Chain A
């Protein structure tokens, strides 16, 4: 019973991932693609969580936290590149 529910939710998550991949390929501007990458990271994170329930293993919790951290840092780096043109500034600008 619970296995069926988990597999159904994985199927719906993969639908969501395909929708974000469509936005990633089609997206007219760069911010669209960055947001699609961020949402794809979140969907991947929840997919790993559901897999760890499905496999009855606690070995994937670090993966969940790490995907969250890396997606956050990657989104911030892209956002700074789009806004300022540089990712890491050398000196305080103001």
Chain B
């Protein structure tokens, strides 16, 4: 039996993962005015990690990304709750969202909203949950 050789899938993965991660971040950022948002951005991010799991193996990816994804999901939920509680501290109702226009050095006049923080929490929760499911299913024999 010949030893399997996956040099082609590994080379393709090294290029494709960068593109998929860029696309995931673009989906996440553009969620306010175009299709996209925290959920689908997190799922695209998780699909890039799944491609890494497929091309390499669980041990290698776990050594290079030393994150406990259960903790990632928990931190995401915590960030989402804290954005709601922070509005309560400033005498607004729970989950009140504010936005404003700022002058940034490179981007010029930009709209910054606190909904992005809530979306970051959603994305982290989605990434943590899906990668935890994949790793738990794929780990045993």
Interface size class of A (residues with CB under 8 A): 20 to 34
Smallest distance from the beta carbon of B5 to chain A beta carbons, Å? Answer: 9
Number of interface residues of B (CB under 8 A): 26
Contact between B138 and A83, CB atoms less than 8 A apart: no
Query: Given the interface contacts A66-B44, A69-B47, A70-B47, does A59 sit within 8 Å of B59 by beta carbon?
Result: no
Q: Given A59-B34, A69-B20: A90 and B59 within 8 A (CB)?
A: yes
- Please measure, in the bound complex, the distance between the C-alpha atom of A83 and the C-alpha atom of B2, giving whole angstroms: 12
Those of A55-80 within 8 Å (CB) of chain B: 59, 62-63, 65-66, 69-70, 72-73, 76-77, 80
Pick the residue among A62, A70, A77, A93 that contacts B27 (CB under 8 A): A62
Contact at B139–A76, with CB atoms within 8 Å?
no
Distance, CA A79 to CA B35, complexed state (A)? 32
Residue of B nearest to A90 (CB): B58
In whole angstroms, how far apart are the Cα atoms of A70 and B47 in the complex? 8
**B3 on the A face (CB < 8 A):** yes
Bitwise, A4-31 to B at CB < 8 A (1) or not (0) is: 0000000000000000000000000000
Chain A: CB-nearest residue to B27 = A62
A40 nearest CB across to chain B (Å) = 19
State how many angstroms separate the Cβ of A89 from the closest Cβ of chain B: 4
Contact A90 B34 (CB under 8 A): no
* Residues in chain A near residue B84, CB distance under 8 A: none
Using known A-B contacts A62-B36, A69-B23, A76-B9, determine if residue A87 contacts B47 with beta carbons closer than 8 Å.
no
Cα A63 to Cα B36 with chains together (Å): 10
Instruction: Map CB proximity to A onto B95-127 as digits: 1 under 8 Å, 0 otherwise.
Output: 000000000000000000000000000000000
Q: A residues touching B (Cβ–Cβ < 8 Å)?
A: 59, 62-63, 65-66, 69-70, 72-73, 76-77, 80, 83-84, 86-94
